[in-house]
Amino acid sequence: MKRVLVTGASGFVGRHSLPFLVERGYQVHAAARGAVPPIEGVTPHACDLLDDRAAAALIRAVQPTHLLHFAWYAVPGKFWTAPENFDWAAASLRLLRGFAEAGGRRVVCAGSCAEYDWSEPVLSETTTKLAPRTLYGAAKNAVRSCLEHGAAELGLDWAWGRVFFLYGPHEAPGRLVSDVIAALVAGKPIAVSAGLQQRDFLHVEDVARGFATLLDSDLQGALNIAAGRTVAVRDVVARIGALTGRADLIDIGGRPAPPHDPATLAADIDRLTSLGFVPRYDLAAGIAHTVEWWRRHG
């Protein structure tokens, strides 16, 4: 039996990963501080991983063979510089060690494109320098570096999925796609930047499937989880406007772009496609699916 512990299972990616892991034959144990979605084949666990005793007790109780680690501080607009990044880096390292000491075999952690040097046009796991600009990116990269250098000593197989730009159902307020859809569905005006930035967007269900695919593989090291193609942010916003019929409420250029925002963040996904991964959603279908979800639940 493959027994996986998923941390951050009530979060944006974590909750979507659960059914894909069940499909792949895992015995799934889902840990979160919030409520875990009720899914057949998933055992929920209430746990604050920043509590060392609670985290250790969880590992002892579950005895996982696999670990899929999403839990981190992720409040939109705050996570880039939040001091909680220190807490989560330390807690993640303790969790990894505890998992290994309990006999765990394979771990996959959620990283970020924020670990890269953003001055390069295409971000590659094998060729792009790692030069985080933010505390968030530095904290993620520090955990990855420790895992890379210590996995053999701990007896772990490991992989690190770097997430780019995602969207979809259950996205928290304060992010681009969720804020634009929520405003337009409610008939409220919203201001956005000029939106000339090129970004790699992938539907959250495909991101979650990418992580499940990576966990079920024997690939070692870092891997980009992205679409492999970029689109201008303003085109994403315009598509939402067309689907909601409220493009008149969008003020393009009404707010400034973030300072030092790179013109392009594109992902090399050769390692991901080598696993046979193909996204189920293109951008048009993914945005349409997300708009419909907001109409039903937003």
Does one domain contain both 153 and 185? no
Question: Tell me, what's the pLDDT at 259?
Answer: 83
Q: What is the residue range of 262's domain?
A: 167-200+229-297
Q: Would the pLDDT of 298 be above 80? A: no
What's the pLDDT score for residue 111? 98
pLDDT classification of 10: cutoffs 50, 70, 90: very high
Of the candidates 60, 54, 154, 58, the residue with the CA atom closest to the CA atom of residue 105: 154
Enter the tokens of residue 120. Answer: 């390069």
- Residues 238 and 132 grouped into a single domain: no
- The tokens for 209 are 């499937």
Rounded to the nearest 5°, which phi and psi values hold at 288?
Answer: -60, -45
Q: What does the pLDDT look like over 73-129, one tens digit per residue?
A: 999 989 999 999 999 999 999 999 999 999 999 999 999 999 999 999 899 999 999
pLDDT value of position 98 = 98
pLDDT of the residue at 237 = 98
Q: What is the three-class DSSP state of 266?
A: strand
Q: Are residues 184 and 86 in the same domain?
A: no
Q: Is 141 found in the same domain as 41? A: yes
CATH number, domain with residue 174: 3.90.25.10
Whether 42 and 53 map to the same domain: the answer is: yes
Burial of 85 (0-12, 13-18, 19+ CB in 10 A): buried
Residues 181 and 284 both lie in one domain: yes
pLDDT of 175 over the 90 cut: yes
CA geometry: angle 282, 285, 287, nearest 5 deg: 100
Report the pLDDT value the prediction gives residue 148, as an integer from 0 to 100: 98
User: What average pLDDT does range 229-254 have in this prediction?
Assistant: 97
132 and 45 within one domain = yes
Tens digit of each residue's pLDDT (9 = 90 or more) over 247-282: 999 999 999 988 889 999 999 999 999 999 999 999
**Which of 197, 174, 193, 295 has the alpha carbon at shortest distance from 250?**
193
Residue 140 above 90 pLDDT?
yes
Query: What is the value of pTM for the model shown?
Result: 0.97
Q: How many domains in the chain? A: 2
